[in-house]
Amino acid sequence: MKVISTIRELRAALGPHRLLGRTIGFVPTMGYLHEGHLTLARHARRDTDIVVASIFVNPLQFGPGEDYEAYPRDVDRDRAMLESVGTDYLFSPPVREMYPTRPDTYVDVPHLGSMLEGAVRPDHFRGVATVVTKLFNIVQPTRAYFGEKDYQQVMVIRRMVSDLSMPVEIVPVPTVRDEDGVALSSRNVYLTPEERRAAVRLNRALALARSLVDEGIASPAALERRLRDYICEEPLAGIDLVAIRDADTLEDPGDAFPDRILVLLFVRFGKARLLDQVVIENRKAEG
């Protein structure tokens, strides 16, 4: 695996592959990798000729007072992990390479990007859309792989790619979980052992949501109330968001469940803000 830190060098390395008609699979990350990221890279390895991963902790997507400085970093460990799954190139630029000056151009997806997590973290998705556009311009991938855990991020990027006719296929990959059901996330490292045990409640809340829908709970509002109550029983959990949405549009479904129900949780445990989600097929809608 070749490790590259400048845009010019990466373009020079990928140009000949493109000329030969090779497909490029891209896995953008912020590093401190886990099995979820490696699963993305394995999908890319299976589907495409050349696999490029990036590690860049993007300052634009962190708000004031968020964990930009503290975000965990370990490039040597990440490098070995990416190599073990057959990554061809790792692009790991310093901030001055990506943003030599404070950018005056942003990519914004204001409707999808300002709801849900975007309401809790203003400008977060603008930072994501801007850096992903830059990375797509640099790598020019055939396909790019993103974890479904960040469901809203996938929706925002898909919309951006469609609106701006970007020639890349977005491939969402299912969430990878630990044995106890906790979704893998680089931010799990912030959890104390006690908080880690408490975080199991998120995945259990999603299982509860599924059974309540199957049992015919009356409305999205009733489901949201039950999930809030269930999560609040855990004293270490601080709810930022419990949302029931239409999984295809992210819109509030009002009084009736949509065909595909997104349950999205954004909950604090100590210093960690954890995201989790499930999409539930509404069997009633099928019948």
Report, in Å, the least distance between residue 37 CB and ligand PAF.
8
Assess whether 37 carries a catalytic annotation: yes
The binding site for ligand PAF (CB under 6 A) comprises: 28-30, 58, 61, 128, 131-132, 150, 153
Nearer to ligand PAF, 121 or 201 (CB): 121
Report, in Å, the least distance between residue 224 CB and ligand PAF.
26
Nearer to ligand PAF, 48 or 61 (CB): 61
Report, in Å, the least distance between residue 146 CB and ligand PAF.
6
Nearer to ligand PAF, 30 or 85 (CB): 30
Report, in Å, the least distance between residue 225 CB and ligand PAF.
30
Q: Which of 34, 37, 111, 124 is the catalytic position?
A: 37
Nearer to ligand PAF, 133 or 231 (CB): 133
What is the chain's alpha carbon radius of gyration, rounded to the nearest angstrom?
Answer: 19
Residues annotated as catalytic are: 37
